Structure formats: structure tokens, C-alpha cells
């Protein structure tokens, strides 16, 4: 049994007899996790599990999965929130803050540099050719995500139906993403209250085939540290500070520039996104694509694929693609400001309002996580949301496919319907061939993501050099 005394300084010895990890050691671990976190949330969670559970043995399997399930209940990127939670569990709020910041920092810097290059030189032939190939690979990766998430989430007819209705709602009727998520949560909650088990979600992900580490063989052990027990005053104080940090820039920009200015719109939109985007990075991307492209006009559909490609090839959360979106939005609507400076500020603003809420959700909810674990209603709501997200991601894949394979896409609006349809005369056979090749590489050859993205970019360059494509 390992407790933290009231002054919250951890004991020198852990439950398994080993020294309690120092804060400096923890910083090195979280930095290592950040630098190795490629491949989206599944890969990032696997890296954390390997280092924190299997290698360091700081916590056991059950506590890791419990933490993951809690983070999946929250809006935003579950991998980053899991990092914050684990850092907080080991070294209080200071540990959570450092773990979360380090998880984001390498990807933020990498995406910012690459986005600057993209904005300045994206129209240059060879760079455009690289992204031409990249789009096909990213489309294959999104389709793979649909299959993987669907296989894990859709366990019965009710979940299949909810996923189908979700797809029809967003693709056929252009329903807002937050409305779909809210409706799914209410359906799941109501079903549980009614005694049905259709949407009750299972355990975590990504660790089923790995060696189980018992809590007794870890530093933390089975006990709950003192700082992990609810203290309403402390929780309220930290949460209020984070809430002010999050919303103060938003309110300041709205008051200074007014609604309709690009910085105010970025702050408001991505703050709303931080509240409603359950279901992981691809669900976030679906919401962003729907609004940033169609409502705000910050970028083109193909550019969303370019941004996702940049996020896929850099460490850190896949949701860092939002920084790419905010950068381009401000870059192209800079006003009297230098476009590059406006873009950098827009990207940083997007990152701030996207990730600061993650700290708020964890520091607010983590002390009460043991109570949440027993809630069947919340579990059912999460299961229903996950099912709906499958339909949302399928819509994203279809939307991407239309804009990659066809040069012109129209919008049908009548009888309450609103959906995209292709001009078949504008079918791009080269793009279609690349997509088919990428799908074969992903589903048949099981090619790794980094290898796939690199191969696709090189193929794009080769086609450009051979004269098959031009820009």
C-alpha cells in the first residue's frame, strides 16, 4: 500500500520496493513517449503502455485500461489526455502538466515548420507532386481507420444501425457533427436506463495481446495516492485557473476584433470543437473538414488531406492537423499583418484552444474517476458515441475519396437532402490508380504507415518527373 502524505510529497519507496520515480526521471520518460508517438492514437497508446506499464512498471494493466476508458469518455484526443492523467497520477498536477505539454510540443514544432514550407512553396511543382501521392496514402489510412474502429465498436445490430444513421445524417442531410454526437449519447444513456445493454462498451484497446502486469508488481501498487482522492476546493481552484487560461484569449480576441475576424473565428470554432469532439482524431477531422472547408472557407478539401499527411508523419497527436488548418486560415486572411506572421499566430492560437481544455478535463475529472468507473449509463453513452463516430469517419472517407479521385464535385440540395456528388467526366485515372495501390498496400500487404506515406510521396515525384501529372 503506497499513500502520499498530506503534503503530497511521494514516499521514497514504491509498493514493489523500488524507489519512487523522481520528477526528473518522469520528465525524461514523457519526452521519450512524445518523440516516439507516431501513427495516431492507437500507436501512441501502445508506446505509452510499453514504456510506463511493461518497461518502467509504474502502474499495472488494470489501472492503465481504467485510465484509458476514462479518457475515452472525454472530448478531445484520448492519447494526450491519457498522458496527462498518467503524469498527474505519478506526480500530481505538475506531472500532468509537464507530460501533456511534452506530448504536444515536438509535433507542434514539426507541423509548424512544415506548414510554413507548405504555405510558401506548396504550389511548386515537385512539392505539389509529393502531396499528390500523399493524398492517396492518407485516404487509405482513413479507410483503414473506419474498418478498425468499426470492427472494435460495432458489436451488434443496434450499433450497426446507429453507425448507418449517423452516416446518412451527416452525408445525406449535412447534420452538424455535435448534434449527431449529442443524439448518440442520449440514445446510449436512455438505453442503459431502460435496462438494455446494446451500447454498453467493453474495455480498453490495444493491449489485449500484451503481457499483463499486476498492480502488486508496480511502483504505484493497488492503492490510490492521496492527491488522486477528491478534494473539492483544490479541484475547483485548479479547474478555474485552467478555464481562465483557455477562455481569456478567446474573449479578448472577440472583444478586440469582433466575431467574423479570422482570429476570433478560430478561437471560437476550435474552442467549441474541444467540447464536442468525442471519438478521437478522425472524428475531430470530420468536424473540422465540415466547418473549415464548407463554412469558413479556410482551405480546400485536398488541403485537408495534405494537413492530415503532415500530422501523420510527425510525432504527437494526430489532432495537430488543426494547427495546419488555423495556420492556413489566418495566412489567407491576414489583413494588415504579414501573412506568415498571421499564419504562425493562427496556428499557435488553434493549438492553445485545442489542447488547454484537455488539461481542464483531466484535472477536473481525474480525482473522481473511481466513481465514474461504476456508471453503466456513462459506459452506454460512450458506446453509442463510438458507434456514431464510425458513421462520421465513413463520411469523412467518402468525402475525401470524392475530392481525391474526381477533379470536380457538386452539391445536391433538394427535399431536405444535401450531399456531395462527383462529375464522373472529371475522373482522374492517375489518382484512382494511386488510391487502389495504397489500399492494396494497407489491407493486403499490411505496409507500415510511415513506409506507405514515404512511398506514396516518392511515387508522386516519379509521376511528376515522368510527365504523367502537372501543376
Q: What's the pLDDT at 2?
A: 44
pLDDT tens digits for 18-63?
A: 778 889 999 999 999 888 876 567 667 878 888 888 888 888 877 7
Q: Is the pLDDT of residue 388 over 60?
A: yes
Let me know: does 327 contact 112? Beta carbons within 8 Å. Answer: yes
Q: Is the pLDDT of residue 211 over 70?
A: no
Half-sphere exposure of 456 (CA within 13 A, CB side): 35
Quote the CA–CA distance of 58 and 81 in Å, as a whole number. 18
pTM above 0.85, yes or no: no
Q: Which of 386, 371, 380 is nearest to 193 (CA)?
A: 380
Residue corresponding to grid cell 518497461: 55
pLDDT tens digits for 120-170?
A: 987 777 888 888 888 888 888 888 878 887 887 788 999 999 999 999 998
Q: What's the pLDDT at 207?
A: 40
CB-count exposure of residue 181 (10 Å: 0-12, 13-18, 19+): buried
Let me know: does 403 contact 219? Beta carbons within 8 Å. Answer: no
Bigger pLDDT: 224 or 334? Answer: 334
Percentage of the chain modeled with pLDDT above 70: 86
Quote the CA–CA distance of 420 and 173 in Å, as a whole number. 10
Q: What's the pLDDT at 397?
A: 84
Bigger pLDDT: 63 or 332? Answer: 332
Q: What's the pLDDT at 10?
A: 46
Quote the CA–CA distance of 381 and 319 in Å, as a whole number. 23
Q: What's the pLDDT at 395?
A: 85
Q: How confident is the model at residue 12 (pLDDT cuts 50, 70, 90)?
A: low
Quote the CA–CA distance of 458 and 446 in Å, as a whole number. 19
pLDDT tens digits for 233-266?
A: 888 899 999 999 999 999 999 999 999 999 999 9
Residues 6+ apart with CB under 8 A from 88: 95, 96, 99, 227, 228, 362, 363, 366
Residue corresponding to grid cell 444513456: 189
Q: Is the pLDDT of residue 14 over 50?
A: yes
Mean pLDDT of 348-375: 85
Mean pLDDT of 293-313: 84
Let me know: does 282 contact 4? Beta carbons within 8 Å. Answer: no
Q: What's the pLDDT at 175?
A: 84
Bigger pLDDT: 173 or 341? Answer: 341
Let me know: does 264 contact 253? Beta carbons within 8 Å. Answer: yes
Residues 6+ apart with CB under 8 A from 147: 443
Quote the CA–CA distance of 126 and 471 in Å, as a whole number. 9
Cell of 250: 478567446
Quote the CA–CA distance of 343 and 324 in Å, as a whole number. 9
Quote the CA–CA distance of 399 and 379 in Å, as a whole number. 30
Q: How confident is the model at residue 16 (pLDDT cuts 50, 70, 90)?
A: low
Inter-helix orientation angle 125-153/449-466, to 10°:
150
Q: How confident is the model at residue 69 (pLDDT cuts 50, 70, 90)?
A: low
Bigger pLDDT: 232 or 325? Answer: 325
Q: Which of 279, 275, 273, 274 is nearest to 392 (CA)?
A: 279
Cell of 394: 465513413
Residues 6+ apart with CB under 8 A from 161: none
Q: How confident is the model at residue 205 (pLDDT cuts 50, 70, 90)?
A: very low
Cell of 196: 438494455
pLDDT tens digits for 79-116?
A: 899 999 999 988 888 999 999 999 999 989 999 999 99
Number of H helices, E strands in the chain: 17, 2
Q: Which of 82, 105, 107, 81 is nearest to 359 (CA)?
A: 81
> Helix (H, G, I), strand (E, B), or coil: what is residue 19?
strand
Mean pLDDT of 158-184: 88
Q: How confident is the model at residue 221 (pLDDT cuts 50, 70, 90)?
A: low
Q: What's the pLDDT at 214?
A: 62
pLDDT tens digits for 390-448?
A: 888 788 788 878 888 998 888 888 888 888 889 999 999 999 999 999 999 999 998 98
Bigger pLDDT: 8 or 217? Answer: 217
39: which DSSP letter?
Answer: S
Q: Which of 152, 176, 180 is nearest to 164 (CA)?
A: 180
Q: Alpha-carbon torsion 351, 97, 39, 108, what sign?
A: positive
Mean pLDDT of 265-289: 81
Q: What's the pLDDT at 203?
A: 42
Percentage of the chain modeled with pLDDT above 90: 35
Q: What's the pLDDT at 318?
A: 81
Average predicted confidence (pLDDT) for the chain: 83
Q: How confident is the model at residue 280 (pLDDT cuts 50, 70, 90)?
A: low
Lowest mean pLDDT among 136-140, 186-190, 219-223: 219-223
Q: How confident is the model at residue 346 (pLDDT cuts 50, 70, 90)?
A: very high
Amino acid at each position: 500500500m503506497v499513500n502520499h502524505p498530506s503534503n503530497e510529497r511521494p514516499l521514497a519507496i514504491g509498493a514493489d520496493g523500488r524507489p519512487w520515480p523522481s520528477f526528473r526521471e518522469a520528465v525524461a520518460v514523457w519526452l521519450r513517449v512524445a518523440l516516439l508517438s507516431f501513427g495516431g492514437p492507437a500507436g501512441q497508446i501502445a508506446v505509452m503502455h510499453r514504456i510506463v506499464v511493461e518497461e518502467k512498471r509504474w502502474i499495472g494493466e488494470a489501472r492503465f485500461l481504467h485510465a484509458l476508458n476514462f479518457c475515452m469518455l472525454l472530448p478531445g484526443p484520448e492519447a494526450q489526455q491519457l498522458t496527462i492523467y498518467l503524469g498527474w497520477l505519478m506526480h500530481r498536477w505538475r506531472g500532468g502538466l509537464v507530460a501533456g505539454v511534452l506530448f504536444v510540443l515536438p509535433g507542434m514544432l514539426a507541423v509548424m515548420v512544415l506548414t510554413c514550407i507548405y504555405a510558401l512553396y506548396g504550389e511548386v511543382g515537385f512539392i505539389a507532386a509529393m502531396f499528390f501521392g500523399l493524398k492517396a496514402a492518407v485516404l487509405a489510412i482513413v479507410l483503414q481507420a473506419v474498418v478498425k474502429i468499426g470492427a472494435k465498436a460495432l458489436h451488434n445490430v443496434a450499433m450497426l444501425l446507429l453507425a448507418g444513421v449517423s452516416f446518412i445524417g451527416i452525408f445525406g442531410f449535412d447534420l452538424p457533427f455535435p448534434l449527431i454526437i449529442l443524439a448518440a449519447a442520449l440514445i446510449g444513456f436512455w438505453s442503459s436506463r431502460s435496462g438494455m445493454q446494446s451500447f454498453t462498451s467493453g474495455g480498453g484497446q490495444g493491449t489485449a495481446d500484451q503481457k499483463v502486469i499486476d498492480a502488486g508488481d508496480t511502483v504505484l501498487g493497488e492503492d490510490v495516492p492521496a492527491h488522486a482522492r477528491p478534494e473539492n476546493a483544490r479541484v475547483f481552484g485548479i479547474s478555474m485557473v485552467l478555464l481562465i487560461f483557455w477562455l481569456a484569449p478567446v474573449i479578448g480576441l472577440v472583444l478586440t476584433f469582433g466575431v467574423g475576424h479570422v482570429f476570433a473565428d478560430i478561437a471560437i470554432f476550435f474552442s467549441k470543437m474541444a467540447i464536442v469532439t468525442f471519438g478521437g482524431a478522425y472524428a475531430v477531422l470530420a468536424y473540422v473538414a465540415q466547418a473549415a472547408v464548407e463554412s469558413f472557407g479556410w482551405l480546400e478539401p485536398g488541403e485537408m488531406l495534405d494537413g492530415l499527411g503532415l500530422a501523420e508523419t510527425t510525432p504527437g497527436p494526430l489532432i495537430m492537423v488543426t494547427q495546419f488548418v488555423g495556420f492556413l486560415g489566418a495566412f489567407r486572411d491576414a489583413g494588415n499583418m504579414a501573412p506568415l506572421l498571421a499564419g504562425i499566430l493562427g496556428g499557435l492560437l488553434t493549438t492553445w484552444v485545442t489542447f488547454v481544455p484537455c488539461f481542464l478535463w483531466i484535472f477536473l475529472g481525474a480525482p473522481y474517476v473511481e466513481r465514474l468507473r461504476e456508471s453503466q449509463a456513462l459506459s452506454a453513452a460512450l458506446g453509442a458515441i463510438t458507434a456514431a463516430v464510425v458513421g462520421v469517419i465513413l463520411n469523412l472517407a467518402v468525402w475525401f475519396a470524392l475530392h481525391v479521385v474526381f477533379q470536380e464535385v457538386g452539391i445536391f440540395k433538394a427535399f431536405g437532402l444535401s450531399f456531395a456528388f462527383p462529375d464522373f467526366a472529371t475522373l482522374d485515372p492517375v489518382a484512382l490508380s494511386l488510391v487502389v495501390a495504397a489500399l492494396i498496400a494497407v489491407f493486403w500487404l499490411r505496409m507500415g504507415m510511415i513506409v506507405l506515406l514515404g512511398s506514396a510521396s516518392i511515387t508522386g515525384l516519379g509521376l511528376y518527373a515522368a510527365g504523367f501529372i502537372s501543376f
